[in-house]
């Protein structure tokens, strides 16, 4: 490390240092043993000249919501979210061999197999094609698969929503010239797992993106930088990240991730395979587990709903464990295959209650009660868990897991 100015800058960049520096600038006593969020701010900000503009912004030192980091995952803090867009820094992660370090100038995407003109594309080549941008949710097929209910809504945070930008895969496939006999594609990532999944050609030609943009900037590394496949509405792992190869083939490849993983063992002893589409699902994010209501009175129940089959048409909310249901308000814009934010005005009388939400999509598909889902799927099926979730509010205002 170099001494002097360089060290000082680094010190200022670190969390505690920033708080201390801000406090010092305002003539306040800083305490270096505490994190930035606990350093004092000026009593009267109008008496202190503020800091200058910056090249790349950071959030307030008082904001501390983060992803829950697990071994191969991180979960979006859904309770802290507003609106439908997930900021890139908080988009959930799921990887099979960590986040690779890829230089975009050296990355290539190959499109080959049953095609007339195999392609080898640089990132510059890819960005030369016409682009599209779409707001889409993404959800891991294993999200929220807890038979015993959630303690916090972040436990079901293997889902996020962003504006994705890229090239229609159909365009690239037309450029390559798909041959007769082709029925599927196989996509492969550049991670150490060489994550590989098969997709029906019909879907590939419909709405699949080869995406390089996320909420206005480049994909984040943990989301597949510099380029990923994005398969709208389908379980997240199929949207192969760090995409390096698409092979056009006659039949699915029966890869590890579509045989030993990402299949659902049914009561019959047979496994459901290629359970592509995510079922309709909704989560009340406020009030949700771990929060505490400050006494009886007015509250707005708020949450997120989505379906892998299209747009959300209806979200109902129950405040009596499913005995009666009322329609929630759907926040515009209601976009297909994207989060829909719902809101429902509610007056809490201070008694113990159980809150639930249930969404229905444009095809009339809806969420089942947990008992019905478990009965249909049996004991060994863990993916695609979209049962109605329950939050119990105790008389003292604590919000807890509400499974009966």
CB-neighbour burial class of residue 302 (10 A; exposed 0-12, middle 13-18, buried 19+)? buried
Question: Does residue 310 bind a second copy (CB under 8 A)?
Answer: no
Question: Does residue 319 bind a second copy (CB under 8 A)?
Answer: no
Q: Please state the closest distance from residue 20 (CB atom) to a second copy, in A.
A: 11
- Sequence-distant (6+) residues with CB within 8 A of 244 are 107, 108, 109, 110, 188, 189, 190
Q: What is the pattern of x (binds a second copy, CB under 8 A) and - over residues 207-246?
A: -----xxxxxxxxxxx--xx---------------x----
Q: Please state the closest distance from residue 237 (CB atom) to a second copy, in A.
A: 15
| Contact with a second copy (CB under 8 A) among 31, 110, 129, 310 | 129
- Which listed range, 185-193, 251-259, 378-386, 389-397, lies at the site for a second copy (CB under 8 A)? 185-193
Which spans in 138-250 are helix H? 169-176, 201-206
| Contact with a second copy (CB under 8 A) among 122, 183, 291, 331 | 331
Q: What is the pattern of x (binds a second copy, CB under 8 A) and - over residues 158-177?
A: -----xxx------------
Question: Does residue 347 bind a second copy (CB under 8 A)?
Answer: no
| Contact with a second copy (CB under 8 A) among 30, 79, 93, 111 | 93
Report d(CA 202, CA 288) in Å as an integer.
39
| Contact with a second copy (CB under 8 A) among 27, 34, 51, 376 | 51
Q: How far, CA to CA in Å, does 385 sit from each of 146, 240, 399?
A: 8, 21, 22
Q: Please state the closest distance from residue 149 (CB atom) to a second copy, in A.
A: 24
Question: Does residue 389 bind a second copy (CB under 8 A)?
Answer: no
Q: Please state the closest distance from residue 274 (CB atom) to a second copy, in A.
A: 25
Q: Please state the closest distance from residue 277 (CB atom) to a second copy, in A.
A: 22
| Contact with a second copy (CB under 8 A) among 3, 5, 29, 47 | 47
Contact 184, 251 (CB under 8 A): yes
Q: For a second copy, which is the closer residue by CB, 47 or 117?
A: 47
Q: For a second copy, which is the closer residue by CB, 57 or 269?
A: 57
Question: Does residue 372 bind a second copy (CB under 8 A)?
Answer: no
Contact 318, 356 (CB under 8 A): yes
Q: What is the pattern of x (binds a second copy, CB under 8 A) and - over residues 250-289?
A: ----------------------------------------
Q: Measuring CA to CA, which residue among 397, 388, 344 is closest to residue 150?
A: 388
Q: For a second copy, which is the closer residue by CB, 190 or 381?
A: 190
Question: Does residue 302 bind a second copy (CB under 8 A)?
Answer: yes
Q: Which long-range contacts (CB under 8 A, 24 or more apart) does 61-65 make?
A: 61/15, 61/18, 61/19, 61/22, 61/36, 61/37, 62/37, 63/37, 64/37, 65/90
Strands (E), 116-230: 119-121, 132-139, 159-168, 184-189, 196-200, 209-214, 217-218, 228-230
Token pair listed for 357? 């939400």
Q: Which residue do the tokens 């209501």 mark?
A: 293
Question: Does residue 70 bind a second copy (CB under 8 A)?
Answer: yes
């Amino acid at each position: 490390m170099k001494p002097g100015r360089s060290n000082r800058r680094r010190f200022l960049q670190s969390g505690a240092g920033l708080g201390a520096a801000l406090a010092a600038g305002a003539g306040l006593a800083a305490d270096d043993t505490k994190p930035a969020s606990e350093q004092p701010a000026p009593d009267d900000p109008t008496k202190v000249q503020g800091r200058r503009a910056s090249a790349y912004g950071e959030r307030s030192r008082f904001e501390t919501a983060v992803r829950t980091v697990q071994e191969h995952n991180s979960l979006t803090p859904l309770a802290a979210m507003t609106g439908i867009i997930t900021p890139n820094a908080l988009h959930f992660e799921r990887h099979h061999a960590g986040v690779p370090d890829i230089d975009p100038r050296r990355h290539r995407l190959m499109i080959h197999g049953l095609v007339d003109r195999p392609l080898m594309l640089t990132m510059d080549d890819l960005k030369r094609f016409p682009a599209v941008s779409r707001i889409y949710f993404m959800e891991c097929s294993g999200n929220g698969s807890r038979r015993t209910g959630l303690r916090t809504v972040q436990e079901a945070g293997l889902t996020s929503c962003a504006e994705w930008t890229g090239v229609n895969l159909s365009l690239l496939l037309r450029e390559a010239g798909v041959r007769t006999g082709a029925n599927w594609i196989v996509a492969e990532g550049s991670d150490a797992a060489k994550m590989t999944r098969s997709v029906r050609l019909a879907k590939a030609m419909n709405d699949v993106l080869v995406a390089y943009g996320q909420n206005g900037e480049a994909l984040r590394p943990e989301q597949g930088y510099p380029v990923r496949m994005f398969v709208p509405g389908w379980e997240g792992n199929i949207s192969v990240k760090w995409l390096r190869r698409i092979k056009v083939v006659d039949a699915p490849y029966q890869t590890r991730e579509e045989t030993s993983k990402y299949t659902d063992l049914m009561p019959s002893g047979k496994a459901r395979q290629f359970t592509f589409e995510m079922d309709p699902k909704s989560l009340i994010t406020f009030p949700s587990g771990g929060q505490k209501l400050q006494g009886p009175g007015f509250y707005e129940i708020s949450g997120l709903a989505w379906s892998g089959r299209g747009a959300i048409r209806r979200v109902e909310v129950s405040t009596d464990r499913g005995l009666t249901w009322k329609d929630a308000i759907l926040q515009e814009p209601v976009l297909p295959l994207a989060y829909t934010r719902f809101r429902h005005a509610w007056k809490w009388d201070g008694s113990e209650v159980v809150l639930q939400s249930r969404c229905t999509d444009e095809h009339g598909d809806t969420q089942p009660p947990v008992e019905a889902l478990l009965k249909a799927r049996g004991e060994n099926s863990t993916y695609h868990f979209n049962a109605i979730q329950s939050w119990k509010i105790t008389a003292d205002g604590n919000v807890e897991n509400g499974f009966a």
